Structure 1
Amino acid sequence: MSEFKVQSLLKSTTVAVHDVCCRGECRHRSAEECASSTQLVFPYRGLYLRHVGSVQSVADANHVLFFNAGEGYQVSHPATGGDACLSLTVSQSLLRELAPAAMLQRRDQPVFHHQALRIDERAQVLVALLRHSLRHGGIEPLEAESLALTLVGRSLGPRTTHAPGATPARRRLVDRVKLLLASDLTRRWTLAEIAAEIGGSPVYLTQAFQQVEGMPLYRYHLRLRLARALDLIADCEDVAALAQDLGFSSHSHFSSAFRQAYGRTPSEFRQAVVAGML
């Protein structure tokens, strides 16, 4: 059985969209690979590590990763369960238009400085809307192209992205926290439990996470759980059961958190996706 399953959802002269699922059986670094064209990759399920030389990036639903054309990389899966990503390849001319000059190493062929950036809740919604709508056939190609470019623009916008900060040591510490959260996404972690697993005091972990990711640890974890809901909601018949499966204390708590993050209740979002009303 193949390690990867790739489904083409959209292909035009403007943008190509692929749904990529990986079984995640490679625990250690894979053989080096290289993208033929620059791609923006949005993980929406699971987690993996991407290695470019000595630089490591955690790929989860809170981030977009940049696979630069001609740049070698390796992948590893320290957490079980594999991963799934939405991959966008935008024409070079449009990508140069969309990407701020400060993000690029060169303008003639878009190559990004950063390996990954954190995205906001609106970008997460756009990922889910694009994927679900293309899968269910509820969107015309022109609308899908526009939605894809909106997602790219949103993900590269200075108000909605966050580049990792702090020292390499603190970033590695925070990466370990992310791996721990991904190992049991639905668990109601406490700071003391995380500190016991990772090492270090709860205060230090809290400060390090805030410095690296620009948001509190609890909010980062909440957004991962809500992103999992975005992944599952289109095929979910029982929202209350989904809330329980994702570790929320109640249906109302889940619905409130979902609405606060994404502007709609889970039921409203599901109806919009299924009906093709973007």
Structure 2
Amino acid sequence: MLSFAALAARPEFTVAAVTCRNDHKGWSATESPDDFRVVLVRRGRFRRRTGGVCADIEPTTAYLGVPGEEEQFAHPAGGDVCTAISLSPALWRELAGDAPGVTTSTVYVDARLDLAHRRFLAAARTGDIDYAAAERLMDLTGRVVARVAAGPTPVGGVTRGSARALVAAARDVIGAGHPAASGLLPLAALLGVSPYRLSRAFTQELGVPLTRYRNRVRVARALDRLEAGETRLAVLAADLGFSDQAHLCRTVRDHVGSTPTALRRLLRGSAPNQPNQPTQPNQPT
């Protein structure tokens, strides 16, 4: 029996936590999905067969599936818990470019790739799907694509000069509040680059991820509103594109060390205490 719990979903990608409780040792019926997908195991193991080749899939081995590929599964050791990532053909092309195919469907998950997987899961839990989760997803899938693509891909290095120009253009778009700045993928599309390359350029040029830079801009706007006396934190969160009030509070506290409520008092200033009036001496009667 399979169960799915959505972790992140956008038109370009979907990510789900998949729990399998099957314990059948034989092969399942043949499946032929129509998407590009990366599957990483968090717990347990299973077997996958495609093109007559069998592979054991467990926490140190992931697999990459391509559209139309026939595959079967077996679970001789019991169930498993996986992260299943589905990519649209357009997003796959942005990551893989014109590479003619893949050299292998099995990917060794070293400690760095394992950490990239865990960092994506942590980012997805924040609720910031369009930046934090999307940026971590591009890092994770970009690493996988670079290992299996049968040729050069757009996820290679970014030169210093191109990074500087790309970051400058992205900062202009974010600063202007352009609708494309609502997420990593639409921002990259507006600038005509892969989201992976845009993310890498920010880290290379500014030393901080794109997500943190964008949040820095939003925190400044939040401080402006708080300084002006804004008390409706839910409205403020919605206006600035946070997923909810809690997301706003976490982000502001992460950047400046205080909650929005405390910052509003700090920026507005408290009314000074009135000094005590001196006591008049008793007058003789």
Given the two structures, how large is their TM-score scaled by the length of structure 2? 0.48
* Structure number with higher relative contact order (C-alpha < 8 Å, ≥ 6 residues apart): 1
Given the two structures, how large is their TM-score scaled by the length of structure 1? 0.50
Q: Which of the two has higher C-alpha Rg?
A: 2
